Structure 1
């Protein structure tokens, strides 16, 4: 539908588009690729951060399965912090940070969830920063 709509707008409209923002639905990406071949495609900040949070959850579930041999259950360290892992570090209370660190220490023997969470926090920081600070943070992450 999006590709058809772009076609209907004609080249007078589409030739002026330099950047196209989209969410991660492949249909949008395909339409932009086909109808706006010169445009730079970018994901909006909301969806990038959302995907980062999903990665943390996927890593948490995989580590849970690998270490305990089953899906998360009440009382399992990583299952108990699944929601806390989605919160920005700047919003966590001292009690939540202590609990998070304790549960990660107990359930994340190779620090995979911890690393994914720290990467997620850096990703969030980029999008919450002013542009000049965000650019610096991106450069630091890419250099690392």
Structure 2
């Protein structure tokens, strides 16, 4: 269920369909999986206009889904509507890289447990952020 639909073989897809059809209670899982695939497909469309169209469809439909988790996701996406749709207005720009570096810095700041020498702290942050190469690793 965690795999993307395009990465599944025909055999895996048929097994998944059989599992969904085996019990009526699996219907909610099937719908949630289809919603996840639809959400993923926003970023895999051939053009930004096509991606935006799928995003608009997701925004319009998820909040009214009878599955509580999908409905909650739909409400959250609706709150973030402008940020979600901005992806298509900016040519796919995001702050993901900045957030990744910030996460690394925060992790290593906690690990450092209070550097007293600012120069050493700066060098360590540059090293983990990719701004320097460690002499022993070069």
Structure of higher CA gyration radius:
2
TM value normalised by structure 1: 0.38
**With structure 2 as the length reference, what TM-score do the two structures score?**
0.39
Hey, which of these two has a bigger chunk of strand by percent? Answer: 1
Question: RCO greater where, 1 or 2, for CA within 8 Å and sep 6 or more?
Answer: 1
